[in-house]
A and B are shown apart, each in its own frame.
Chain A
Amino acid sequence: MEFIAGTVVMIGIFVILASSYNLIIGYGGLNTVAHPIFFALGAYTAALLGAHAGLPPILGVIAGIAVAVIAAVVLAVTTLRISGDYLLIASLGFQLGLLQLVNNFEFTGGPSGVSDIPLTLAGPNRGLIYVAITLASAVVVVWAIWRTMNSPFGRVVRAMRDDELACAALGRSLISIKILIFSMGCGAAGLAGGIYAYYFQYISPEQFQVAQSAQILTMVVLGGIGTTLGPIVGALVLVALPQAINFLHLPSSMVGPVQGIIFTSLVISFLFLRPGGLVGKTGSGAAH
């Protein structure tokens, strides 16, 4: 039961991550790969405030969201004047640099991470309560993104993605729109991080590596970039399918690499067999 609850919590967390990433990259057209670092900032802020300041979980999660938003604004203000591949690489540098800081600071626990995150819910129903919290958060995030993208502001965002020059010519402030979209998406990643930290009660830098950038990006692209349903389907498929390996009772040292092989094989297969994503348009030229 705990295994199933853990898997569903992970699916919920990745739905939040993939949907918020889709807001930035799919709707906003901002090619960044730094999403996991905002997830990490949310997780570390909530964990450290819970473990060392005794802050209630809800305030810890809110603080995590705030820190992620602040970091997003910093990254956006410094990098959004460059675009395309350059932005992609700059965001990679930002992600790796910040992760290196987390890895080296003593107050973040260094490479060992934070393991004394307080237990917030106890008892046999802990897993189910977290499933409810995570799924409710995921529904709220997906709904908020859907609502935003179907509002007049959402149409401006899509117009900016499709033709920046024309959008600017209509008097829109592109930088403000980019910062807003970026902050919203990264704030949601911070929320996912807070839930992750309190549910698993252990976080370390290696959980937020570059591989996770590819993982979330893949969920978005394979589900269907620029669609509401795509990231949800992508997260569901790519979290649930590799879990099947747990039933083969492999040695513990083999589980991670075999899951990784299944994951990467799925990604490569989908990239070539269904480039438009599972719920996106069929045909070529997916993912920008």
Chain B
Amino acid sequence: MIEPIILLQILWSGIAMSSYYVLLTLAFALTLKVEKLWNFAQAGLMGVAFYTMFFTLNAMAMPIWLGLLLGVTATVAVSVLLEYFGFAVLRRRNSGGLTFFIFTLVFSQFVAYVLTILFGTEPETIYPSVMSPVRIIGGVAVSNWDLIAISTMAVLLVALSLALRFTRDGQFMIAVADNAKLAEIYGISATRAYMLSGAIAAVLLTAGIYLYGTRGGVTPDLPLGLVLTAVIGTLMGGLGRVFAAGLAAVLLALLQSFSILVIPSKWQALLLYGVLFGTLILFPRGIPSWRVPRIRAPEPGVEPVTETGG
């Protein structure tokens, strides 16, 4: 019989671990919602973000704020260039999904090869040590990293939600996501919305990989695996539902955490791929109970609303 305190510890650690999964999944889901793009190039962006911060914070020992600023700037810059010189060109040509898939995957591979030449294949962390002070609260070990990770996730979640709901650019992004052509007829620039969603995703990716890299080692080819986790979260949440995808990422992290009780660690990756495959086969449109309810047809006997003119 497993003691409740152990389960509580696993739950807490799982929630803390989910922080970077949530941020990476939000980035993937946002791009998919607004740009209709399965953006595997986000693995390359994660690589750029991580190694910029590794170089500035670990190798050059710069102040944290400067390293983070440079990480965000480099990632947003690459994201904007990718949109301008890559996706925009392919969109103008009406390229199919397969072309976008090849381009994004190959771009990530290109970045991984360049990073391998620059930094090698040994796992690196953003700071020389990944140790974090721990305090015991109610029998559960809570590290400073856990608190930083969960607060970062919460702040960025709220900021994204507010930005999408209450800013003009956020509303324009939603409009473009719903119907890009119609949005353009109303004077909304789809190009700007795509660029902005890419930039926001770059910020989320930088935050996500920062949290990951302050807890464990990163190699140039690791980000592709993280993108796949984001894909699974996005699919479970259902396409177009950014925050449901974030919730799915939390569930995935908890599933991984609790699975250590019954599954050896070497099989945990298989569990994720199994969930991916199963979700696609069983729920290709996302978990049913998370779907936005459809507008129901009027009850029999209710008079339909008719247009009276004027």
Contact = CB atoms under 8 A, between A and B. Distances in A.
Interface of A: 25, 31, 33, 78-79, 82, 84-86, 88-90, 92-94, 96-97, 100-101, 104, 210-211, 213-214, 217-218, 221, 253-254, 256-258, 260-261, 264-265, 267-268, 271-272, 275, 284-288
Given A214-B106, A254-B117, A264-B106, A85 B38 contact: yes
B95 A285 contact: yes
Interface of B: 38, 89-90, 93-99, 101-103, 105-107, 109-110, 112-114, 116-117, 120, 224, 228, 231, 235, 266-267, 269-270, 273-274, 276-277, 280-281, 284
18 contacts: A33-B101, A82-B281, A89-B235, A89-B276, A92-B228, A100-B270, A221-B98, A253-B120, A257-B113, A257-B116, A258-B113, A264-B106, A267-B106, A284-B95, A285-B94, A285-B95, A288-B97, A288-B98
Q: Most chain-A Cβ atoms within 10 A of its Cβ — which of B89, B99, B106?
A: B106
Contacts of B228: 92, 96
Given A104-B267, A272-B89, A90 B109 contact: no
Interface of A is mostly: helix
Given A88-B101, A104-B267, A268-B103, A285 B96 contact: yes
A93 B107 contact: no
Contacts of A33: 101
Contacts of A272: 89
A287 B98 contact: yes
A94 B117 contact: no
A161 B93 CA distance: 21
A243 B266 CA distance: 35
Nearest to B278: A93
Q: Most chain-A Cβ atoms within 10 A of its Cβ — which of B93, B98, B110, B273?
A: B98
Nearest to A98: B273
Contact of A261 (B110, B269, B270, B274): B110
Given A214-B105, A268-B103, A90 B98 contact: no
Given A96-B273, A261-B117, A211 B280 contact: no
A226 to B, nearest CB: 12
A271 B103 contact: yes
A287 B105 contact: no
Nearest to B118: A257
A92 B112 CA distance: 19
Given A100-B273, A285-B96, 20 more contacts: A82-B284, A94-B277, A96-B273, A96-B276, A100-B269, A210-B224, A217-B101, A218-B106, A254-B117, A257-B114, A260-B110, A260-B116, A261-B113, A264-B110, A268-B107, A271-B99, A271-B106, A284-B95, A287-B96, A288-B97
Contacts of A258: 113, 117
B248 to A, nearest CB: 14
B96 A90 contact: no
B41 to A, nearest CB: 11
Contacts of B97: 31, 84-85, 88, 288
A172 B270 CA distance: 37
Ranked 7 nearest A-B pairs via Cβ: A288-B96, A97-B273, A284-B93, A260-B113, A264-B110, A93-B276, A93-B277
B102 A218 contact: yes
Contact of A104 (B93, B98, B102, B270): B270
Contacts of B280: 79, 82, 86, 89-90, 93
A258 B116 CA distance: 9
Given A268-B107, A284-B94, A261 B114 contact: yes
Nearest to B112: A260
Contacts of B267: 100, 104
B98 A214 contact: no
A33 B106 CA distance: 13
Contacts of B269: 96, 100
A86 B112 CA distance: 26
A59 to B, nearest CB: 31
Given A214-B105, A264-B106, A89 B117 contact: no
B116 A287 contact: no
Contacts of A31: 97-98
Contacts of B90: 271
B126 to A, nearest CB: 22
Contacts of A261: 110, 113-114, 117
Nearest to A101: B270
Contacts of B107: 264, 268
A261 B108 CA distance: 11
Contacts of A92: 228, 231, 276
Contacts of A217: 98, 101-102
A221 B90 CA distance: 14
Given A97-B270, A100-B270, A265 B110 contact: yes
A260 B89 CA distance: 24
B37 to A, nearest CB: 10
A285 B97 CA distance: 10
B281 A275 contact: no
B175 to A, nearest CB: 23
